[in-house]
């Protein structure tokens, strides 16, 4: 796996080509005239459709964050079993991110977006049919696992949109794409709230049913308005080369702390509210009124992380962001012990806000790391173009690996909550684990990217 890079030679009229076959052979986003006259409108069209398709994918991935609120006594599932139901979608979503990234170059961005959208029907249709009291826990686990296909959509969408924009605009474009996709988490929770408030907890199947026409619409919109860039390629050996890079694993650990927290808390928040403050949230609809707030603010603020990183430096923003996340987790722990719901909600919303900012800043760090390395390598070898090509290859591979590893953080968060409630009846141990992880992350960020010295990478 590697950077997906378009070729820059071919027909002179990419707009006409796109109109006939949804295929663009001439794509030169770094050339100002081409970008202004031809490239920008095409890129924006692809971006907005990509955001919608990814948004639907995230919603399907997050279905069980709200579905578990419907699973009352008639389903016979304890809290530990519900946390497993929210962990398995995160697990499959993490596993699928690498092959989904590779699929863009193999099949074309437009073609794969159509296929990946239609794959969302695989979990949504059987959930619509089978969700009712009496269904076995094994069936529920299979259905929950299948929703993981929505998690893979993020990786292919980001890899595809990365091709369309010039370097100076990638941060904003990828931030919008990711943020719009992330909004699928609060969106599905609002759908769940609407179903609970109108039809009641007896009809969980209505939540996936709402998404059936949206899935079809995402596939049709992709077929109508997206384009393929055939020059995109998976360069052999880039994945193996990136896996040998220490920066790959440092950034993957940091991304567990940011995106892993966002998706893990997004899946678990409703359950934790009901367990931590059972007297305040006696019914699912009571919890659903607040469940969507955290993912909503975390999604909306994600582009700000990229913009702050552009202005202040990705490593600096990431460092202080993890400090703030550790403080937020500490506030949640204190509030839980003191039974202060206002403080508890404030701390959790802070965790969502800073996980969203960190999502943007860590993604911005990745190309900056290899760009800084390329400058030094080009000066040493006398071949800056070769160094820049290698940097692009490794950046693309690192984004794929970090995205997959980071998504596994959603599993870890839900398992941490499950074990904490199983062993002690509360989430205190989980909060302590989160504080420790964020402390490790800000210490690692400082040691590798901010500590003064000759090995510090400029501009990261």
* φ/ψ of residue 451, rounded to 5: -65, 130
Q: Residue by residue, what is the 3-state secondary structure of 282-319? A: CCHHHHHHHHCHHHHHHHHHHHHHHHHHHHHCHHHHHH
Q: In sequence order, what DSSP letters do the residues of 156-212 get, joined into one string? A: HHHHHHHHHS-HHHHHHHHHHHHHHHHTHHHHHHHHHHHHHHHT-TT-TTHHHHHHH
CA-based angle 79:85:90, to the nearest 5?
Answer: 130
Mean pLDDT of all residues in 423-436: 94
Out of 352-361, 367-376, 434-443, pick the least confident: 367-376
CATH fit for domain 235-459, picks 1.10.3720.10, 2.30.30.280, 1.20.1250.20, 3.40.50.2300: 1.20.1250.20
Mean pLDDT of all residues in 354-369: 87
* φ/ψ of residue 47, rounded to 5: -65, -50
Architecture of domain 41-233: Up-down Bundle (1.20)
Q: CA 52 to CA 49: how far, in whole Å?
A: 5
Q: In sequence order, what DSSP letters do the residues of 95-157 get, joined into one string? A: HHHHHHHHHHHHH-HHHHHHHHHHHTHHHHHHHHHH-STT--HHHHHHHHHHTTHHHHHHHHH
Q: Provide the 8-state DSSP code for 390.
A: H
Distance between alpha carbon 157 and the CA centroid of its chain, in Å? 10
Tokens of 342: 């206002």
Please, are residues 252 and 406 in contact by the beta-carbon 8 Å criterion? yes
Tokens of 20: 């006939």
Q: CA 372 to CA 388: how far, in whole Å?
A: 10
> What percent of the chain clears pLDDT 70, i.e. is strictly above it?
92
Same fold, 41-233 and 235-459: yes
Pick the most confident of 23-27, 185-189, 287-291, 451-455. 185-189
Please write the tens of the pLDDT for every residue from 99-116. Answer: 998 888 888 899 999 999
Q: CA 421 to CA 425: how far, in whole Å?
A: 4
* Domain boundaries defined on the chain: 41-233, 235-459
More confident residue, 239 or 413: 413
Please write the tens of the pLDDT for every residue from 211-234. Answer: 999 999 999 999 999 999 866 666
Q: Helix, strand or coil for residue 442?
A: helix
Tokens of 107: 């099949």
pLDDT computed for residue 125 by the predictor: 97
Q: Is the pLDDT of residue 348 over 90?
A: yes
**pLDDT-based confidence at residue 117 (cuts at 50, 70, 90):** very high
Q: CA 306 to CA 172: how far, in whole Å?
A: 7
Cα–Cα separations (whole angstroms), residue 70 to 11, 193, 203, 339? 55, 10, 8, 25
Out of 325-334, 336-345, 369-378, pick the least confident: 369-378
Q: CA 261 to CA 433: how far, in whole Å?
A: 12
Please write the tens of the pLDDT for every residue from 251-302. Answer: 999 999 999 999 999 989 888 988 888 888 887 777 778 888 888 998 888 8
Please write the tens of the pLDDT for every residue from 364-408. Answer: 888 888 888 777 676 666 667 777 777 777 777 787 888 889 888
* Residues belonging to the chain: 460
């Amino acid at each position: 796996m590697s950077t997906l890079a378009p070729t820059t030679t071919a027909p002179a009229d990419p707009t006409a080509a796109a109109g006939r076959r949804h295929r663009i052979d001439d794509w030169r986003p770094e050339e100002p005239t081409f970008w202004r006259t031809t490239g920008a409108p095409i890129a924006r069209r692809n971006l907005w459709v990509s955001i919608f398709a990814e948004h639907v994918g995230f919603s399907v991935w997050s279905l069980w964050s709200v579905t578990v609120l419907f699973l009352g006594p008639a389903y016979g599932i304890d809290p530990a079993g519900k946390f497993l139901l929210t962990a398995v979608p995160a697990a499959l979503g993490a596993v699928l991110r690498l092959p989904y990234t590779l699929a863009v170059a193999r099949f074309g961005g437009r073609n794969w977006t159509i296929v990946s959208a239609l794959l969302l029907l695989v979990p949504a249709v059987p959930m619509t049919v089978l969700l009712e009291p009496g269904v076995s826990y094994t069936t529920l686990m299979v259905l929950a696992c299948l929703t993981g296909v929505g998690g893979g959509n993020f990786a292919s969408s980001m890899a595809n949109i990365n091709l369309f924009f010039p370097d100076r605009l990638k941060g904003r474009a990828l931030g919008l794409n990711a943020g719009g996709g992330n909004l699928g988490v609060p969106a599905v929770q609002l759908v769940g709230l609407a179903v609970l408030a109108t039809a009641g907890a007896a009809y969980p199947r209505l939540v996936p049913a709402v998404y059936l026409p949206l899935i079809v619409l995402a596939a049709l919109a992709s077929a109508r308005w997206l384009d393929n860039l055939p020059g995109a390629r998976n360069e052999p050996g880039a994945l193996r080369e990136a896996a040998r890079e220490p920066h790959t694993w440092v950034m993957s650990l940091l991304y567990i702390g940011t995106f892993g927290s966002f998706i893990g808390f997004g899946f678990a928040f409703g359950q934790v509210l009901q367990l931590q403050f059972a007297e305040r949230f006696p019914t699912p609809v009571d919890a659903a009124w607040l469940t969507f707030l955290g993912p909503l603010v975390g999604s909306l603020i994600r582009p700000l992380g990229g913009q702050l990183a552009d202005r202040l430096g990705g490593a600096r923003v990431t460092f202080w962001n993890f400090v703030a996340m550790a403080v937020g987790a500490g506030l949640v722990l204190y509030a839980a012990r003191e039974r202060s719901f206002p403080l508890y909600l404030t701390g959790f919303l802070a965790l969502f806000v800073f996980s969203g900012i960190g999502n943007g800043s860590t993604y911005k760090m990745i190309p900056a790391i290899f760009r800084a390395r390329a400058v030094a390598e080009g000066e040493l070898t006398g071949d800056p173009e070769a160094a820049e090509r290698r940097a692009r290859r490794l950046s693309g591979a690192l984004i794929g690996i970090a995205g997959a590893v980071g998504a596994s953080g959603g599993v870890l968060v839900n398992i941490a909550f499950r074990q904490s409630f199983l062993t002690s009846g509360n989430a205190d141990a989980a909060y302590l684990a989160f504080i420790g992880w964020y402390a490790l992350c800000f210490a690692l960020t400082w040691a590798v990217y901010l500590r003064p010295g000759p090995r510090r990478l400029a501009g990261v």
